[in-house]
Amino acid sequence: MLTFLLLALVVIGLSTLVWTTAGLVRLVGARLRPSPSRRAARRLTPSDVAILVAAHNEELTIRQTIRSALRQVPAGQVFIVSDGSRDGTVEVAEAAGARVLDLAANRGKAGALVAGIQHFRLAERFEVVLLLDADTQLADDYLASGLPLFDDPGVVAVAGRATTLVDPRPATFIGRVLVAYRERVYIVMQYLYKFGQAGRAANVVAIVPGFASMYRSRVLADIEIDAPGLAIEDYNMTFEVHAKRLGRIAFDPRAAIARTQDPDRLHDYMRQVRRWNLGFWQTMRRHGFRMRRFWIALAVFVAELLTSSIALLLVPPAVVLSGGTLLAVAVGLDPPEPLRALAQALPPWSLVLGVLVPDYLLTLFAVLVSRRWSDLLLGPAFVVVRAIDAFACLRALVAALVPQAGGVWRSPARRPAGEAR
């Protein structure tokens, strides 16, 4: 039983419990004791917002992304940077009504964003810049729900809430598992972590995701968006906010919602996860550790991330050894004493249930939030995908120790985009 409980704690994570509690306290406190109004002198409106999209070979998705953006802001406020695209991205974007900058060379997403901000003079012309991925569609109330978070003048960034696009439906079982698992990751991280981390007293949000988030234009000059040697830009931009004490990061899972097309092919999924993990570890290496609240919270999370990743990869061989030893004893064989001790300390049932039960509880929570009941049937397979994530995390950590090239990208295979639902 002790093994089961310890493994369950590793799988769930102490940080999950801490930040879930902080989120509940924040929610209850807001209802019982509403904070004094800190509304800005003038509430921001859609006319204050520029939407900037960096795109590379996104002709299958960019039209719907632009359409969703044009439902948020007036025409002329959607800006596309085609980063060395070799397909019809430019033509499709122009036909959809966006203003387009066509870069001949592939600079990577961060370089494309910098080029767009400078070329269109966005920081000078707009109060807020919304960074949007080319495969992402904004919910119709994205700005209506997200801009009020800037009423607090101390807020310099609003982290968008991600949810995965279900249309079109992945064609394969593996694709459905991958997309459903990614939705679970979004819900767990955003509801059980980020909401508590974004509380005024905490302010330790670790990522303002680049898929659909907003920054006050005045802080963009202080953020090194295109930092050298990083696979992705959004972790670094978030760390820069904390390192330079630029202000607070706001997040509410009920606000600034956007839907993104997640990979439904294993190869694309693994490549994306590796890139995300590599960007995280590279950013950690670049910024180092400081005796501040954000970095202390981050250090605790990293310790748990490494512990759970190692545990998830060690459990399968431990189950084989422990179960094999018990089977050998049952048939009258005499296994070595170390294997007997292992089987006694780590019985196979406690190892298996210690992973499957708490992991499935996370699936149950995600389904209660999303109402995607079919994911309950896919839930047992999520443990396998989580083990893939664990391997990618540790592999990326090793890779991050070696200097890398910048974030020049290759887009995953896309499904023709339908309307967000």
Q: For residue range 370-390, what is the model confidence (pLDDT) as tens digits?
A: 999 999 999 999 999 999 999
Tell me the one-letter amino acid at 309. S
CA distance 235 to 206: 7
Dihedral sign for Cα 355, 356, 361, 367, please.
positive
Q: What is the pLDDT of residue 421?
A: 45
pLDDT band (50, 70, 90) for residue 356: very high
Residue 33 is classified by DSSP as S
Residue 295: strand, helix, or coil: helix
Percent with pLDDT over 90 in the chain: 81
Q: What is the pLDDT of residues 142-185, one digit of tens each?
A: 999 999 999 999 999 999 999 998 877 899 999 999 999 999 99
CA-based angle 297:303:307, to the nearest 5? 145
Which letter does DSSP use for residue 192 in this model?
I
Nearest to 362 by CA among 346, 388, 386: 386
**If you search the block for the tokens 């509403």, which residue do you land on?**
34
In degrees and rounded to multiples of 5, residue 386 shows phi and psi of -65, -35
Distances (CA, A) of 275 to 184, 234, 243, 360: 19, 12, 23, 26
The number of beta carbons lying within 10 Å of the beta carbon of residue 134 is 31
Q: Is 165 left (phi over 0), alpha (psi -120 to 50) or beta?
A: beta
Residue of higher predicted confidence among 403 and 237? 237
Cβ atoms of residues 220 and 226 within 8 Å? no
Strand order in the sheet with 161-164: 136-138, 257-260, 161-164
- How far, in Å, are 42, 95, 133, 193, 414 from residue 62 at the CA level? 33, 11, 9, 31, 11
Give one DSSP letter per residue of 348-401, joined into a string. HHHHHHHHHHHHHHHHHHHHHHH--TTHHHHGGGHHHHHHHHHHHHHHHHHHHT
216 in helix, strand or coil? strand
What residues contact 24, with CB distance under 8 A and at least 6 apart? 196
Distance from C-alpha of 395 to C-alpha of 315, rounded to nearest angstrom: 18
Please compute the mean of the pLDDT values over residues 237-262 and round it to a whole number. 96
Mean pLDDT for the stretch of residues 327-342 = 91
Q: How confident is the model at residue 1 (pLDDT cuts 50, 70, 90)?
A: confident
Give start and end residues of each alpha helix (H) in 250-381: 266-287, 293-330, 337-345, 348-370, 375-378
C-beta atoms surrounding 333 within 10 Å: 9
Dist CA 269 CA 332 (whole Å): 46
Average pLDDT value over all residues in the chain = 92
- Tell which phi-psi region holds residue 22, choosing left (phi > 0), alpha (psi between -120 and 50) or beta: alpha
Task: Specify the 3-state DSSP secondary structure of 264.
Answer: coil
Closest CA to 13 of 251, 302, 274: 302
DSSP assigned state of 155: E
According to DSSP, residue 255 is labeled S
pLDDT at 232: 93
Q: If pLDDT is split at 50, 70 and 90, which confidence band does 109 have?
A: very high
CB atoms within 10 A of CB 300: 14
CATH numbers and ranges of domains, the chain: 1-421 (3.90.550.10)
